[in-house]
Chains A and B, each alone.
Chain A
Amino acid sequence: MIFHTILIIALVLLLAAILFNLYRVIKGPSSADRVQALDSVGINLIASIAVYSVLLHTHAFFDLILLIGILSFIGTVAFARFMERGAVIERKR
């Protein structure tokens, strides 16, 4: 029972983290802040899915955890390249 309560508290904290990150996404001020915040949302999602899986007693979502890890990395890299060079995929010269 205590374990369950701890999990719930963890979820609440993670949700709060997502909302605060979202505040950063909205507020800015620079694009880098926003992308950083989005990356952070992804990581928070990984954590909350993990906690949620424990709550639900299932391992169906473990693939998703790995996937978000990869994708939020790819997404962040894409944004970074875009902001740095103006394009996501550059042509070979």
Chain B
Amino acid sequence: MIPFYAFIFLPFIFAIIVPFLYKYLNRQVHTGWFVLLVPLSIFLYFLQYIPSVAAGETYMYTLPWIPTLEINLTSYLDGLGLMFGLLISGVGALVILYSIFYMSKEREALHNFYVYLLMFMGAMLGVVFSDHLLVFYGFWELTSVSSFLLISYWYERRSSRQGALKAMLITVFGGFAMLAGFIMLILMADTYSIRELIANLNLLQNHELFLPAMLCVLVGAFTKSAQFPFSIWLPDAMEAPTPVSSYLHSATMVKAGIYLVARMTPIFGGSSVWFWLVAGVGLITLLYGSLTALRQTDLKALLAYSTISQLGLIMCLLGVGSLAVYFGSGEEGTVFTVATFAALFHLFNHSTFKGSLFMVVGIIDHETGRRDIRFLGGLMHVMPVTFTIALVGGLSMAGLPPFNGFLSKEMFFGAVNEVAHAGIFGLSSLGVLFPIIAWVASIFTFVYCMIFIFKTFGGNFRPEKLTREVHEAPLGMLIPPLVLGLLVILIFFFPNLLGKAILIPALSAVLPMMDVAPYDLKISAWHGLNLELLMTVGVIGFGWLLFKTAKRWITSLRGFPKGFMLSHWFDRGIEETEKLSGSLTNRYMTGSLRHYLIYIFSFFVLLLLGSLLGLHGLHFDFSQDAPIGFFETGLAVAMILAALTVLLAGNRIVAIVALGAMGYMISMFFVIFRAPDLALTQMVVETVTTVLFLLCFYHLPKLKKNIERISFKLTNVIISLAMGVTVSLLALAANGHKLFEPITSFFENAYELAGAKNIVNAILVDFRGFDTMLEISVLTIAGLGVYLLVHQRAKRRESNETE
């Protein structure tokens, strides 16, 4: 049997082949038909795992990657991974089938499209099957990158590029935060494996890094799953082609954050911070998304906000479900286990109905040329099949029977009602907010679902506002949403089939410590006249009332001031940051060499003088010093005078002459300190330098030749004085401290060792000849450089003249 990790790489391998297929076969066959084989085979392959995984088996394979660093491609297959794997490959197959009819063979760059899509699919499979934290992160970033590429698929459009950039910035920010969290986890438990992390729970929970790691991981999950306030990238990502929106931004990628939270529940669940963040943020997102969805006139934007809101719902359920970890396996724990079960159930349901709804919008866009509800209407009779699918998906999203959304929404209400009675983590007072917010958000959800269905398909048909001749979509385009719509209904009638086969194994992966009998988790469409049912009835009643009066209040909602929108603030923030960093950089990168020298020298002084004084490194010891003679003193005075002359000289000739005098004096110092070779060299070099200075002086432009003295600047004086003082202090302090005997005694044997009576020369060419060789090459390079500079300049001048 082929190990399942091979199927993670299958999309990547196929992505390499796709451009060739496109190039040689696109004329005859749409490239998508070949690509369709990949998710189909993966889906069929994973199907056969269902019985064994449902029986509680897990599979693990390790492919060594960097064994010395313990980084291996560890693939782990359990219920949760299998559920996501089936979703990814199943919805993937349908989306590719849909895209074959949606994307034109002649006009679109299909090779790009399918390469990106396959890359994404492989990365997503990698995310859900990785057990190794760093490999998980790698695949996670790959989903961000491929999503970026897919959003900007029509890269000639400005809005596509902007949407892609925004998505990239936010998800990669979250990805980095998640990486930081992972590294903390690795540090705490000294393992890379998620399974071993769960096994070493007690090691983690009392560690001081536990909370930071949790927060970082949560930022990663929230950005990816478009939770409040990181949700702003998702509506802008709707610039992608509709199959992409359907696949990435409703069914798979945005659920990666959900997957992460579910995976980490055994580790972090049970702490109050985790509960409040996950459930609270989920609840806020639910309300925010459903309220904002009402404002939208663009169908895709409406669906984007509805996705945000539904993701919030799932997140909230996962947060509530994490209470089960706190309570453990008792009666109360079981109640909250049901919440996690509901989360997984709704996750599955959402993928089905949202996928189909996006495809419906794609069909409408494709057939009418419009996707703004202000232009659409009365499509019911023109596109009956599309209408049916939209009705099924829309009502399921609203939470009506006989569709699967009804079941998961009932379970959601049940869970939030339980939270109100939980009585821990301060829930006894605040817990009552949960059902209220959930209920209000559900009413809004109902209203926008109605708007989606009836503003598009109801009302009067106005062909004059549409850009194309409207007719029903081709069959191939209808099949994928039909399959999903059929699933929506089938799951309602046979929920326990799905529950037993997929959801319960997934649940036992999320909450491994809970031992729940399957009969506790039976999903039933009718469970008596209870509070949840009454809430649903209320949702329908109020929702219908609001929908009927929508004309009156929805305009005021659309006229909402810009200042309240997160996206506006994000754009402003980016703009302001760019401006601020630009002005900051312009302020210190002035382009003036003088300023840079000031930075360098003041840094030098601050660092050296600061550490000398701060670490009490200044000790002077003059006992070893030789006596100072009159001749040295006189020479030093002469040198100081010459140096001052250089500084205060009225013209440059004086400065050059004074510099020459100073060089001569230095060579005299070499004589006094008995260094004949140095004195010789110094003398020659000094003379040559003086001549060179004169050469340069001759070439100064006429205008500037008569600049008088160096202009006085206080900062320059201060910095130069500080620099001189620092170096002097350092030299004086260093001179008195000889920690070791110098090695000069070794060089005194120059005659025996090297046959040279001149020690300096023996060192230069024998003991340390390597330095000399490199010095020679420095001089060579300098000479060549001068030659080239002079020569090239002369050449250029010639060529300018000939022109």
Q: Which residues of A contact B (CB under 8 A)?
A: 11-12, 15-16, 18-19, 22, 25-26, 28, 31, 34-35, 38, 41-42, 45, 48-49, 52, 56, 58, 60-61, 63-64, 67-68, 71-72, 74-75, 78-79, 82, 86-89
Contact = CB atoms under 8 A, between A and B. Distances in A.
Contacts of B514: none
Contact of A64 (B654, B658, B683): B683
Given A19-B638, A34-B657, A11 B631 contact: yes
A67 B684 CA distance: 8
A25 B695 CA distance: 20
Contacts of B676: 60-61, 63-64
Nearest to A75: B687
A49 B669 CA distance: 10
A49 B668 contact: yes
A77 B728 CA distance: 38
10 contacts: A15-B631, A18-B638, A25-B645, A25-B658, A31-B653, A31-B654, A34-B657, A64-B679, A67-B680, A88-B691
A79 B667 CA distance: 20
Contact of A41 (B664, B683, B694): B664
B556 to A, nearest CB: 85
Contact of B641 (A16, A22, A28, A45): A22
Contacts of A48: 631, 668
Nearest to B674: A56
B637 A19 contact: yes
Contacts of B667: 45, 64, 68
A38 B658 CA distance: 8
A88 to B, nearest CB: 5
B3 to A, nearest CB: 80
A87 B698 contact: yes
A75 B679 CA distance: 17
B630 interface: yes
B781 interface: no
A88 B698 contact: yes
Given A22-B642, A25-B661, A79 B671 contact: no
Contacts of A41: 661, 664
Nearest to A68: B683
Contacts of B698: 82, 86-88
Nearest to B644: A26
A74 to B, nearest CB: 6
Nearest to A56: B674
Nearest to A35: B657
Nearest to B668: A45
Residue with the highest number of chain B CB atoms closer than 10 Å, among A28, A64, A78:
A64
Contacts of A79: 657, 694
A41 B658 CA distance: 11
A26 B641 contact: yes
Nearest to B632: A15
A87 B697 CA distance: 9
Contacts of A26: 641, 645, 654, 658
A16 to B, nearest CB: 8
Given A22-B642, A42-B664, A63-B676, 18 more contacts: A11-B631, A15-B634, A19-B634, A19-B637, A22-B638, A26-B641, A31-B653, A34-B654, A34-B657, A38-B661, A52-B631, A60-B676, A61-B676, A64-B671, A64-B676, A74-B687, A82-B694, A88-B694
Given A15-B635, A19-B634, A64 B680 contact: yes
Contacts of B687: 71-72, 74-75
A67 to B, nearest CB: 5
Ranked nearest first, the 7 interchain pairs of A and B with the lowest CB-CB distance are: A15-B634, A60-B676, A71-B687, A34-B657, A26-B645, A78-B691, A82-B694
A68 B667 CA distance: 10
A41 B664 CA distance: 8
Contact of B664 (A45, A52, A56): A45
Contact of B679 (A25, A61, A82, A87): A61
B690 interface: yes
Residue with the highest number of chain A CB atoms closer than 10 Å, among B635, B637, B680:
B680
A25 B642 contact: yes
Contacts of A63: 676, 680
Interface in B626-656: 630-631, 634-635, 637-638, 641-642, 645, 653-654
B597 interface: no
B660 interface: yes
B672 interface: yes
B676 to A, nearest CB: 4
Nearest to B682: A64
A10 B692 CA distance: 35
Contacts of B660: 38, 75
A42 to B, nearest CB: 6
Given A45-B664, A60-B676, A67 B694 contact: no
A87 B700 CA distance: 12
Contacts of B664: 38, 41-42, 45, 68
B635 A75 contact: no
B671 to A, nearest CB: 5
A67 B683 contact: yes
B678 to A, nearest CB: 10
Given A38-B657, A68-B683, A49 B634 contact: no
B694 A49 contact: no
Contact of A78 (B635, B653, B674, B694): B694
B671 A12 contact: no
A89 B653 contact: no
Contacts of B661: 22, 25, 38, 41
Contacts of B691: 74-75, 78, 88
A52 B672 contact: yes
B689 to A, nearest CB: 10
A28 B654 CA distance: 8
A78 B695 CA distance: 10
A44 to B, nearest CB: 9
Contacts of B657: 25, 31, 34-35, 38, 79
A19 B640 CA distance: 11
B750 to A, nearest CB: 15
Contact of B690 (A25, A64, A75): A75
A12 B694 CA distance: 33
A82 B674 CA distance: 35
Contacts of A15: 630-631, 634-635, 638
Interface string B699-715: 00000000000000000
A78 B688 CA distance: 10
A47 B686 CA distance: 19
Contacts of B630: 12, 15
A82 B686 CA distance: 17
